[in-house]
Chain A
């Protein structure tokens, strides 16, 4: 079957760094998306990785290891507005996004 595992909730301090991990098992693999979703709002695209390695985009970076079925999202210089849920979604052989339940990130002053 297909399975996505990411922590339910994490807490971090403003200005710090946090890493949100995601492990996955899918039928085939065509890359992995990370989305951000603020409470009561729509998910918004953060990153897409299809090759192994780290992709950096401003304060956010995303890492992929296809052999390990593992990805992480790294958030630097945390701001209060980063409080949100972060959704990991690998793409299976049918090009369907398989969504995790999301990690709720709480930022404290």
Chain B
């Protein structure tokens, strides 16, 4: 239990569906991150929010849309995904971004796009 929760843990969706992933951190952190983890590949940073402001968008396709209503909650809205988007989506938080604080990860959402 790292203090970062993610729901759902597993999600199967069709290419025309719209779904959202949710992340919540109970650590009082100010930075939150979305990562994509595909088998045998490095973690890919998707988005970074620092004090609710988006500070990084690493060339992520527009079918992924993040939302950060406050420092404790982070969403990833999904629409018209492709099969290659199937992966483990990890949320993380840290004290702040722009500093080498350790990141605490949630358990991830295993996404399968059919």
A binding-site residues for B, Cβ under 8 Å: 4, 8, 30-31, 33, 41-45, 48, 50, 87, 89, 91, 94-97, 99-102
Number of interface residues of B (CB under 8 A): 21
| Bound CA span A16–B100, Å | 32
What is the predominant secondary structure among interface residues of chain B facing chain A?
A: loop
Q: Decide if the interface of chain A is mainly helix, strand, loop or mixed.
A: loop
B56's closest neighbor in chain A, by CB?
A96
B105 and A33 form a contact (CB under 8 A): no
Q: How far is the CA of A73 from the CA of B83 in the complex (A)?
A: 36
Contact (Cβ within 8 A) B102 A42? no
CB distance from A36 to the nearest CB of B (A): 11
25 cross-chain CB contacts under 8 A: A4-B42, A8-B40, A31-B100, A33-B102, A41-B107, A42-B4, A42-B105, A43-B43, A43-B105, A44-B105, A45-B102, A45-B104, A48-B100, A48-B102, A50-B100, A87-B43, A91-B100, A94-B98, A95-B99, A95-B100, A96-B56, A97-B43, A97-B103, A101-B41, A101-B42
How many inter-chain contacts with C-beta < 8 Å in the A-B complex?
47
Contacts of B44 in A (CB 8 A): 99
- In the complex formed, the residue of A with least CB distance to B105 is A42
B43/A99 in contact, CB under 8 A:
yes
Contact check: which of B42, B105, B106 meets A100 at CB < 8 Å? B42
